[in-house]
Amino acid sequence: MPRRVLSAIGLTLAILLVVATAGWFVGPKVLYATGLWSDGGSPTIDPGLYASAPIPSPTSVAPTPVAAAATTQGKLPDGATLLAKLNAVDRSTVPRPGMAVIDPFTGAVVTGQGADSLFTPASTLKLLTSAAALATFGPEHRFTTKVVTGTGSQIVLVGGGDPYLRGSATTNYPARASIGDLADATAAALKAAGRTSVSLAYDDSLFSGPGWNPAWPANYHGDATPTSALWVDEDVTGATHNLDPSGDAAKSFTAELAARGITVTAVAAGTAPAGATQLASVQSLPVDLIVQQLLLHSDNDATEVLFRHIALAAGKSGSIAAAQVAVSAKLAEIGLWRDGMKIDDGSGLSRGNLATPTVLSQAIAKGFTDVRYRSLIDGLPTAAADGTLHARYDDIPTEGAGRGAVRAKTGTLTGVHSLAGFTRTADGAVVVFAFIANDVPADGALAARDWLERTSSVVAACGC
């Protein structure tokens, strides 16, 4: 046998050995991420359910054409036919599913199952917190981080609850306020007054009560920073969420001032005096861009900041308990509340949160009918393209129709998997959906995730 053929056979055997070894020692999780493992579904499942695109593409779908005016609405699917197709998708690892599909322009129900039942929503709850924030502040509102005069030689860094305050300026879009920009303006103001040496106090009193939600287990420190009205880069270093966001922000500001010729002689926590003179300030992104960013990346920290702001805007303290009351009230006011729902936090990290698939889909629908809520759809990740969906929808035969066509917010906790978003069907109808799986067994997580991707792809492929 030719040497070239022998070499090819040897290489093939080596690859197979590596795959088999990886599957044995690290299980499907790592292989799934590499695209070398496909979990869930049935080898005999009817491929006609999915009608994948002839050439599936991860290219994202431009949001404006997809979210066009109601006059472009196509023929809505027949509810019974679509439900039959959804129920034909294997869900043997989904003991408790919930499904809702609606027309976003009229609110009419297309189909559903358990649509008004209560489920733990995981991070799809961010849609409700975002809707409440947009209703409270409007899309253009900004939050201010400032420096004011203190007593004697002191200046005070005052946190204004900017969830995306950066450590240094960047040209990346969207351009966020930075502690470096604040240091530029502060140093200029101090030097104009003939001052090059100050002491620094930092004031994070805008939010009250504990920064860590008691509904979160301690091991969630890998997923969230204690919520603060003053932090830089969400106080995340590498992949580590640190525990003293306001103190770390003061250290960063001190270093930035030093680089600009201002000596900081002492740093301590404090409170800005009433009527203090403002030396400098920077403005956050507008709320609509904050919402877009937190939805795209499922940002727990930014969402928790908005959660506290909603309480303050309602005239309450910026505590967790006050935010729970204020957000629930705001959701009720805008029609996104049902009896039995529960809000423990803003991000969906708590397993005690409860919402319905119908309410989640109605939140997204607001983005189609009211310009104030547009970021609820503009911020959604696109399947196989970006955000938290960039590495998903990888099984072409069953998920191909969703690639580049489904835009949705993800949600994942142990035993909980959810997806809420919109797509355009094969008949040209824009539909909003919410799918939730609760009580998923530990060994069924990947298959439950596949169920979400396959059901949403069924909706996209539906010419029914």
pLDDT in tens, 323-382: 999 999 999 999 999 999 999 999 999 999 999 999 999 999 999 999 999 999 999 999
Residue 2 counted as domain residue: no
Residue 297 counted as domain residue: no
Q: Are 124 and 433 in contact (CB under 8 A)?
A: no
Same domain, 198 and 182: yes
Residue 14 counted as domain residue: no
* Per-position b or e across 165-190, b if 16+ CB within 10 A of its CB: bbbeeeeeeeebbbbbbbbbebbebb
Can you name the residues that pair with 323 across neighbouring β-strands?
A: none
Cα–Cα distance for residue pair 226/61, rounded to 1 Å: 36
Same domain, 241 and 149: yes
Same domain, 392 and 416: yes
Residue 319 counted as domain residue: no
Per-residue pLDDT of the chain (464 residues; tens, 9 = 90+): 443 333 443 444 443 343 344 443 334 344 333 333 222 222 233 333 433 333 333 333 333 334 434 446 899 999 999 999 999 999 999 999 999 999 999 999 999 999 999 999 999 999 999 999 999 999 999 999 999 999 999 999 999 999 999 998 777 788 899 999 999 999 999 999 999 999 999 999 999 999 999 999 999 988 899 999 999 999 999 889 999 999 999 999 999 999 999 999 999 999 999 999 999 999 999 999 999 999 999 999 999 999 999 999 999 999 999 999 999 999 999 999 999 999 999 999 999 999 999 999 999 999 999 999 999 999 999 999 999 999 999 999 999 999 999 999 999 999 999 999 999 999 999 999 999 999 999 999 999 999 999 999 999 999 98
Cα–Cα distance for residue pair 284/175, rounded to 1 Å: 9
- Output the six-digit token pair for 4: 């070239």
Same domain, 280 and 231: yes
- Output the six-digit token pair for 311: 């309480």
Same domain, 425 and 445: yes
Same domain, 274 and 166: yes
Same domain, 350 and 401: yes
What CATH number does residue 89 fall under?
Answer: 3.40.710.10
Q: Are 159 and 249 in contact (CB under 8 A)?
A: yes
Is residue 184 helix, strand or coil? helix
- Give the distance, in angstroms, between the CA of residue 2 and the centroid of all CA atoms in the same chain: 55
Total-model pTM:
0.86
- Give the distance, in angstroms, between the CA of residue 254 and the centroid of all CA atoms in the same chain: 31
**Nearest Cα to Cα of residue 119 among 109, 128, 131:** 128
Residue 360 counted as domain residue: yes
Same domain, 83 and 207: no
- Output the six-digit token pair for 415: 């035993």
Can you name the residues that pair with 155 across neighbouring β-strands?
A: 149, 200
What CATH number does residue 194 fall under?
Answer: 3.50.80.20
For 85-142, what is each residue's pLDDT tens digit?
A: 999 999 999 999 999 999 999 999 999 999 999 999 999 999 999 999 999 999 999 9
- How many domains, in total, are found in the chain? 2
Residue 321 counted as domain residue: no
- Give the distance, in angstroms, between the CA of residue 199 and the centroid of all CA atoms in the same chain: 38
Cα–Cα distance for residue pair 438/283, rounded to 1 Å: 40
Tell whether the torsion through CA atoms of 224, 226, 232 and 237 is positive or negative.
negative
Domain of residue 241 covers 144-285
- Give the distance, in angstroms, between the CA of residue 150 and the centroid of all CA atoms in the same chain: 38
Alpha-helical regions (H) of 314-444: 320-333, 357-369, 375-378, 396-399
Same domain, 129 and 179: no
Phi, psi dihedrals of residue 121, rounded to the nearest 5°: -90, -15
Can you name the residues that pair with 149 across neighbouring β-strands?
A: 155
Count of other CB atoms within 10 angstroms of residue 25: 8
- Output the six-digit token pair for 430: 């824009």
Same domain, 267 and 166: yes
Q: What separation in angstroms does the CA of 289 have from each of 133, 275, 367, 408?
A: 12, 31, 14, 17
**Nearest Cα to Cα of residue 343 among 121, 86, 12, 101:** 121
Q: Are 175 and 269 in contact (CB under 8 A)?
A: no
